């Protein structure tokens, strides 16, 4: 069966510090991978998606970037965090029919 | 821009009643429709999907789709306290992406 991992689970970072969040999927090959952000009390905002290694599509211009160095690994990064980057970051995967399955998420607080 | 509208709630229903959640979408190219449940502080989990007009039943859940009206709904029968959560509607076109509504919060009171 498929499993998706995200780490860390929670993170508190100062403004201006770098960020690296990692997501890995097990039990499937060539998944589509997604990064979402959910601000407190808000809906899910798609940040990036990837249909293959090295292929990244950005949905919202901002100070975040994403990379996919391996088939089942997706990384979200920032060089300098802003207060507005606080939120619940979710990684998701899909293979068929756009059914997306979410990881446990990383709760980021930028102070 | 693809818009998805849901009543934010909270929708309060007594235990054992039917909870009815509505969702309208703007993209006429939407082909598939997903419902997710999100407990407070947790990630969304897929509960069901529908592709064709009409009703689709899965246990206590029934999804209803009317593409002509750009409307999809979710019924929860015999509501239980464990159904208390936020329900997210997510239409999809054939472009690998889902468009999420802001969600409807359901509270089932014992």
Is the confidence at residue A97, as pLDDT, over 80? Answer: no
Is the confidence at residue A42, as pLDDT, over 90? Answer: no
Q: Which two tokens mark B105?
A: 């919060």
Distance from C-alpha of B3 to C-alpha of A49, rounded to nearest angstrom: 19
Q: What is the mean pLDDT of residues B49-62?
A: 96
pLDDT tier for residue A61 given thresholds of 50, 70 and 90: low
Q: What is the mean pLDDT of residues B24-42?
A: 95
Is the confidence at residue B43, as pLDDT, over 80? Answer: yes
Q: Is B42 on the interface with A (CB under 8 A)?
A: yes
pLDDT tens, position by position, A3-30: 999 999 999 999 999 999 999 999 998 9
Is the confidence at residue A91, as pLDDT, over 70? Answer: yes
Q: Which residue of A has its CA nearest to B91?
A: A98
Contact call for B96 and A101, based on CB within 8 A: no
Three-class secondary structure of residue A100 per DSSP: coil
Is the confidence at residue B83, as pLDDT, over 80? Answer: yes
3-state secondary structure string across B41-99: CCCCEEEEEECCCEEEEECCEEEEEECCCCEEEEEECCCCHHHCEEEEEEEECCCCCEC
Within 8 A of A101 by CB-CB distance, chain B residues are 46
Q: Is B43 on the interface with A (CB under 8 A)?
A: yes
> Tell me, what DSSP letter sits at residue A84?
G
Q: What is the mean pLDDT of residues A26-49?
A: 91
Choose from A44, A107, A108 for mutation: most chain B CBs within 10 A.
A44
Q: Nearest CA of chain A to the CA of B93: how many Å?
A: 9
Q: What per-residue confidence (pLDDT) applies to A70?
A: 95
Q: What per-residue confidence (pLDDT) applies to A56?
A: 94
Under a CB-based contact definition with an 8 Å cutoff, are residues B18 and B76 in contact? yes
Q: What is the mean pLDDT of residues B43-58?
A: 96
Q: How many whole angstroms from its chain centre is CA B66? A: 14
């Amino acid at each position: 069966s498929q499993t998706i991992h995200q780490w860390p689970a929670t993170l508190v970072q100062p403004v201006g510090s770098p960020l690296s969040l990692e997501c890995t999927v097990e039990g499937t090959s060539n998944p589509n991978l997604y990064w979402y952000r959910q601000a407190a009390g808000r809906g899910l905002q798609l940040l990036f998606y990837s249909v293959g290694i090295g292929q990244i599509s950005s949905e919202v211009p901002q100070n975040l970037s994403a990379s996919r160095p391996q088939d089942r690994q997706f990384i979200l990064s920032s060089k300098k965090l802003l207060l507005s980057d606080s939120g619940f970051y979710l990684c998701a995967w899909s293979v068929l029919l756009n059914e997306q399955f979410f990881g446990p998420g990383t709760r980021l607080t930028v102070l | 821009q693809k818009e998805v509208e849901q009543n934010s709630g909270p929708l309060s229903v007594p235990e054992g009643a039917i909870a009815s959640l509505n969702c309208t979408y703007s993209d006429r190219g939407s082909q598939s429709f997903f419902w997710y449940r999100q407990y407070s502080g947790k990630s969304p989990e897929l509960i069901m999907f529908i592709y064709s007009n009409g009703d689709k039943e899965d246990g206590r859940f029934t999804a209803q789709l009317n593409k002509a009206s750009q409307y999809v709904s979710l019924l929860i029968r015999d509501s239980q306290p464990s159904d208390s959560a936020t329900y997210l509607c997510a239409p999809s076109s054939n472009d690998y992406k889902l468009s999420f509504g802001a969600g409807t919060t359901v509270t089932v009171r014992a």
